[in-house]
Amino acid sequence: HLGFRVAITGRLDASTGDGLETFQKNYGVVGPVESGPATLRLLEQAVQCSVSIYELMDIAPQLDETRAQILLPYINASMYTANISTAARKAAYLAQLSYGSRGFSSLEAFDHDETTPRRRELDRSRSGNGAKSLGLGAFRITGRSNFERVGDALGIDLIKNPELAATHEHGF
pLDDT in tens, 35-60: 667 777 777 877 788 888 888 888 88
CB distance 51 to 36 below 8 Å: no
Q: Give residue-wise pLDDT tens across range 98-129.
A: 888 888 888 887 554 455 455 545 555 555 45
- Main-chain dihedrals φ then ψ at residue 15, nearest 5 degrees: -65, -30
Q: What is the pTM of this model?
A: 0.66
CA angle 23, 48, 60 (to 5 degrees): 95
**DSSP classification of residue 119:** P
- Counting beta carbons within 10 angstroms of the beta carbon of residue 61, is it exposed (0 to 12), middle (13 to 18) or buried (19 or more)? exposed
| Residue 61 to residue 130: CA distance in whole angstroms | 35
